[in-house]
Amino acid sequence: MTGNAGELQRIGLVCVPTADQDRAIAFYESIGFEKRTDIAMGSGYRWVEVYLADGPTGIALAPPPPGSDEIVPAQTGITLNTQDIQATHARFSELGVDVDAEVSVMGDPVPPMFWFRDPTGHSLMVVEQP
């Protein structure tokens, strides 16, 4: 990417806190992410990043901050795209992912979508983009 010095270029990572990184890694891998980074940081902390196969933007599965063991589930604001929302919803359901009961179809210009929750309870959205 080109640009002027000091300009932002792209979103690299979105941090999603999780108390159980191994469980989160297994979950995200089960829905199509790949682990690209897993680095020990000392004091039992690890820096973990997962990405979709061809995606430049990743999700950092971050441990809770020192002195805090409780993580409150949140809406992450993360939106993932699929070409076939019904097939993705069915696949997630078959995998046992905590998904909405059905795909939300509101009509143009809003694309079909559904939400799902990761093992920590954080919500992410899947949107159809043919």
Instruction: Please give the CATH superfamily to which domain 11-65 belongs.
Output: 2,3-Dihydroxybiphenyl 1,2-Dioxygenase, domain 1 (3.10.180.10)
Displacement of CA 95 from its chain's centroid (Å): 16
Per the CB < 8 A criterion, the answer to whether 80 and 91 are in contact is no
User: In this predicted model, what pLDDT tens digit does every residue of 79-104 receive, in sequence order?
Assistant: 999 999 999 999 999 999 999 999 99
Domain 11-65 identical in fold to domain 73-130? yes
Q: Strand, coil or helix: what is 85?
A: helix
Domain ranges, ordered by start, for the chain: 11-65, 73-130
Question: CA 22 to CA 77: how far, in whole Å?
Answer: 23
- C-beta separation of 21 from 28 below 8 A: no
- pLDDT (tens digit per residue) in 19-75: 899 999 999 999 999 999 999 988 878 999 999 998 899 999 998 877 777 888 999
- Locate 66 and state its tokens: 């020192």
Match domain 73-130 to its CATH number in 3.20.20.150, 3.50.50.60, 1.10.10.10, 3.10.180.10.
3.10.180.10
What pLDDT does residue 27 have?
A: 98
